[in-house]
Amino acid sequence: MSKFLEIINWLTSLLLTVWLNCSVANDVTPQVFGEVREGIVAAFGDFNSDELTDVFLIRNNMQVLEILYGADTEPFLRPSNFYCSYKKYIITSVVPGDYDGDALMDVLVTVKEKGSKNDVHNVYIHWGDSDGLNCTDERHEPLLKTKGEPLAIDYNRDMIIDLYGVRENNARTFWIFNKTREPPLQISQAEPIYETSTTSEMRIPNANAYLDINGDFIADLLVQTDKHYEVWHGRNGADPEEKQGFTFNRTIDLPIVGSKPIWGQAVFSDFELEGVENVILPICFQDCANSTILVHDGKSFRDIHVNFKDPQAVSWGFVPPQENDVYLKTITARSGDFNMDGYPDLIMTLQTFGATHKRQTFLLENVPCKMCNSPLKRTYEVKWNALSPLGENTVAGAFYDFYQDGVLDVILIEKSNTGNYRPLAFRNTLDYDANFVKVIVLTSLTNKKNPTMRTALGRKKRTYGTNLPGPRITYFTTTQEGDFQRGSSVQLPQSSYFALQLPYTIFGLGRTPNFVDSLTVGLGSKSRTWTQLIPNSQIIVVPKPLEDPQRWKAQLFVTPSKLILMSVVALGGTCLVIILIILVLYIKEKREDKQEKLQEAHRFHFDAM
């Protein structure tokens, strides 16, 4: 019996050890990246159309583009056999998308000559096909040249990705791609009509964005200049020609508070769950020793008074622009709902000020605010230990769902003393069971020449295109307390200057187990609403045909919640212990029966004598 108790104690200890390790092992770099120990994470997209997000990596002194394929088993990101190399250029940005309308992902890269100090970039596209990636030779003439990095948009709503930016002569231009793989059509942007006669040049680097600002489900254009943001509304006329392009609407003035402000890259998210996207703008002064975040409330920018002093009373601030660092050329915030409460949080890199600068990437959690400028009611709070033990000596962070469970994990970029970049993986292990809805909107393009793909069950699987910038997604639900909750997001509003935005949207629902009352997806002035959706669902929306939203398709996949998984593990462990107890008792009873039979046989022979 003592042996049996020892076995039970050993099994219990083993289960507890495994459980604790699973709950606290946040550093999952080996499980995610495997043998990959160097590289610059440049963009995300589903290159091979397997419904898993791949990572586009820049390696070897910024001269090699490589794709890491997403997987559902460890390692979750695996090197592919596709490389595109440059000898006289360095890669400055990567923008995946379908640039020829064949429903397969292509990869646009901007490159510069080694050592070049100007802002002119050559643009090449590596065309995707059913066999992989066809690298374009750098000796070929580039498709186009831009000053600064271009923004991915869909100018004419044909689901083929176009570009917006400025030419070498500072002329604002749209580049319209078609199905021929020829150089794109150039369309000059009209001059904005300001109230004053002064005009402003586009800022480089900039935070230009392609998103629906006025709620009509048509993606608008927001352009950052040296003095303000320009708002250009997407057109929606009766004629086909009037359904493409943008019309200047107004400007959003940048508040000049203090002397020589350093403007960061604006990010766009539903800051207060009001169903609208706010402009969230990092700003600092005095070499960023004085840093803060401004949020536009619809009328003007408000300071939300973020406290950058840690528990040891050490002051932190943003990192001033560093020309020699690919991630720190501008102050950049990246948005995502880390704690799944519905309110989008931020990831930013901060530094201390003094004789030495300590740099680290932190989570800024969206929390209620008591001292904010009305009408805003929330602010950001730095969570100093949320990304421990990772975060130190890191220069960037981005959200990513490694385990496909609807919980946003974090990719961190570590920079060594020799200037090499290494991606790290942090697993987000929430201490409570939170619900979510994950939405992906595709371009809806198809190609009959593409090979037929099949699922694990042998069912035919069709692909419906790739990354699509601009769709607006809104949801409406009821919380456990009976309060109404709504939120909105825009898919891929930014693509330049290492925006590192995911090609899908995850809405955190907190602990609300209720059905999502409604989910609306809109683009090109059309929209469709789905009702009574199961929480913890992944929804893939195929907006085809664009003009008839009632025929749009939505594929729904349900992900078991953590509570269900924990229950399965607990039930499985209990069943295992019961089976072991039964097995031990059975063996013990068999042994006793055998001994009893031997005693009976011995007694019989003794009596016979």
Mind listing the pLDDT tens digit for each residue in 40-94? 999 999 998 888 999 999 999 999 999 999 999 999 999 988 899 999 999 999 9
Encode pLDDT of 278-288 as tens digits: 999 999 988 89
Please tell me the distance from the alpha carbon of residue 69 to that of residue 76, in angstroms, as a whole number.
8
Return the pLDDT at 85. 95
Question: Which tokens is 319 given?
Answer: 């990192």
Structural contact between residues 84 and 133, judged by C-beta atoms closer than 8 angstroms: yes
Q: How many angstroms separate the CA atoms of 25 and 384, rounded?
A: 18
Provide the residue range defining the domain that includes 583: 561-609
* 507 and 583 share one domain: no
Query: Which contiguous run of DSSP H or E holds residue 351?
Result: strand 345-352
Domain match, 532 and 471 both: yes
Same domain, 525 and 571: no
Same domain? 447 vs 474: yes
Which one-letter DSSP state was computed for residue 274? S
Residue 469 placed within a domain:
yes
pLDDT digits (tens, 9 = 90+) for 568-605: 677 788 888 899 999 988 888 888 877 877 777 766 55
Tell me the pairing of strands 453-454 and 120-129. unpaired
Is residue 133, in this structure, part of any structural domain at all? no
Residues 6+ apart with CB under 8 A from 464: 103, 442, 443, 444, 445, 446, 540, 542, 544, 553
Q: Is residue 185 part of a domain?
A: no
Which residues have a Cβ under 8 Å from the Cβ of 90 and sit 6 or more positions away?
61, 62, 63, 111, 112, 113, 114
Q: Are residues 440 and 543 in the same domain?
A: yes
Cβ neighbors of 460 (< 8 A, separation 6 or more) are 452, 453, 454
| Token digits of residue 505 | 């949207």
| Position 505 in a domain | yes
Q: Report the pLDDT value the prediction gives residue 17, as an integer from 0 to 100.
A: 44
Q: Are residues 445 and 539 in the same domain?
A: yes
pLDDT mean over 3-11: 50
Domain count, the chain: 2
Residue closest to 65 by CA, chosen among 96, 121, 130, 109? 109
**pLDDT (mean) for 473-498:** 92
Structure tokens at 227: 């003095």
**Confidence at residue 21, expressed as pLDDT on a 0 to 100 scale:** 43
514 and 598, same domain (yes or no)? no
* pLDDT computed for residue 239 by the predictor: 67
For residues 441 and 554, membership in a common domain is answered with: yes
Domain check: are 447 and 543 in the same one?
yes
82 located within any domain:
no
- Cα 381–chain centre separation: 21
Residue 184, preceding peptide bond in cis (omega within 30° of 0): no
CATH number of the domain that 481 lies in? 2.60.40
The pTM of this model reads 0.86
In a domain, 515, yes or no: yes
Most confident of 48-52, 76-80, 224-228, 297-301: 76-80
Q: Which of 559, 574, 600 is the last residue of a domain?
A: 559
Residue at 342 is within a domain: no
* Same domain as 588, residue 542: no
**Do 539 and 479 belong to one domain?**
yes
185-200 average pLDDT score: 80
pLDDT higher for 260 or 314?
Answer: 314
Distance in angstroms (rounded) separating the CA atoms of residues 280 and 270:
10
- Examine residue 375 and say whether the peptide bond preceding it is cis (omega within 30 degrees of 0): yes
Residues 548 and 472 in one domain: yes
Residue closest to 243 by CA, chosen among 266, 276, 216, 263 = 216
Residue that is last in its domain, among 520, 541, 559: 559
